[in-house]
Amino acid sequence: MTQTQASQHGPLFFRDRDWHPAAYTPGYKTSMTRAPQRPLVPLGSTLSEETGPAFGQSMIGELDNNLVMNFTGQPAIGERIIMHGRVLDENGRGVPGVLVEMWQANAGGRYRHKKDGYLAPLDPNFGGCGRTLTGPDGRYEFLTIRPGAYPWPNHVNNWRPMHIHWSVFGSGFGQRLITQNYFEGDPLIPLCPIVNTLARQEAIDVLVAALDMNHAIPMDCLAYRFDIVLRGRRQSFFENRKEGM
């Protein structure tokens, strides 16, 4: 956070585990090997989780939030879209100075990663990642390409819906959020095993970016709005005891 921002720090609050996916979800195949095998050990938050890091405008380049142009300086191929929204605290207030990072597949559904073996071609002008800082009211904005869907070896014929990955740093390391958004109207959303780890439809709905024609640019690009809510000073939930500590 910027040094001029007034922010409150304190012990992290409990997390509502009914809202978050279970660690062990057999329908999402890799969770079967990654899920904890023993009860988690409750630990209180420390100063390092409750405060820092500090980010400044000097670390952001002119094209960092323009994924259409920031890889080679030549325009990427695909449907241009604006991704925008606000980073909010648990009381609905905008959080300024938050580092927002994003990464995604290209228009054909392929990542620029050496282990991505999908047969879709790479776009030589698309790197697939960007970053920005939120403004005084918590707003952020990116210009990018709408990513394509792609198959993945979870079961015989599973496909990931179109999505963008997000990393957000709040007022402390304990508030770092890794999430992803989907796109309104995508028929693959209810078929995705990762989406279906969420037990409540409301939790799925907040991960779907809404088409925002008011923010679109005529004859140029559509826009989607995706607000990101930081839970504030919320302590991690421990699966062995709902009461936590």
Kindly name the residue from 28, 110, 131, 150 that is annotated as catalytic.
150
Kindly name the residue from 17, 165, 231, 234 that is annotated as catalytic.
165
Q: Which residues have C-beta within 8 Å of that of residue 186, sequence separation ≥ 6?
A: 149, 161, 162
Active site residue 163: yes
Least Cα distance to 152 among 163, 164, 160 occurs for 160
Least Cα distance to 144 among 188, 106, 97, 182 occurs for 106
Q: Using CA atoms, how far apart are residues 214 and 192, in angstroms rounded to an integer? A: 29
Residue with the larger pLDDT of the pair 124 and 22 = 124
pLDDT of 124 over the 90 cut: yes
Look at the pTM and tell me if it is higher than 0.85: no
CA distances for 99 relative to 26, 86, 208, 210, 229, angstroms = 33, 12, 21, 22, 14
Active site residue 20: no
pLDDT of 238 over the 70 cut: no
pLDDT band at 204 (very low <50, low <70, confident <90, very high): very high
Kindly name the residue from 140, 163, 224, 233 that is annotated as catalytic.
163
Instruction: Give me the mean pLDDT over the 144-153 stretch.
Output: 96
For 156-192, what is each residue's pLDDT tens digit?
899 999 999 999 987 677 667 889 999 999 999 999 9
pLDDT of 227 over the 80 cut: yes
Kindly name the residue from 86, 110, 111, 146 that is annotated as catalytic.
111
pLDDT of 240 over the 60 cut: no
For 82-94, what is each residue's pLDDT tens digit?
999 999 887 788 9
**Cis ω before 193 (30° cut-off from 0):** no
State the pLDDT at residue 76: 98
The structure tokens listed for 81 are 């879209």
Active site residue 84: no
Residue 85, phi-psi category: left (phi > 0), alpha (psi -120 to 50), beta (remainder): left
Kindly name the residue from 160, 182, 224, 233 that is annotated as catalytic.
160
Q: What is the DSSP letter of 142?
A: E
pLDDT of 67 over the 80 cut: yes
The structure tokens listed for 109 are 């559904």
Q: What are the chain's domains?
A: 52-229 (2.60.130.10)
For 7-26, what is each residue's pLDDT tens digit?
556 666 666 667 777 788 88
pLDDT of 6 over the 60 cut: no
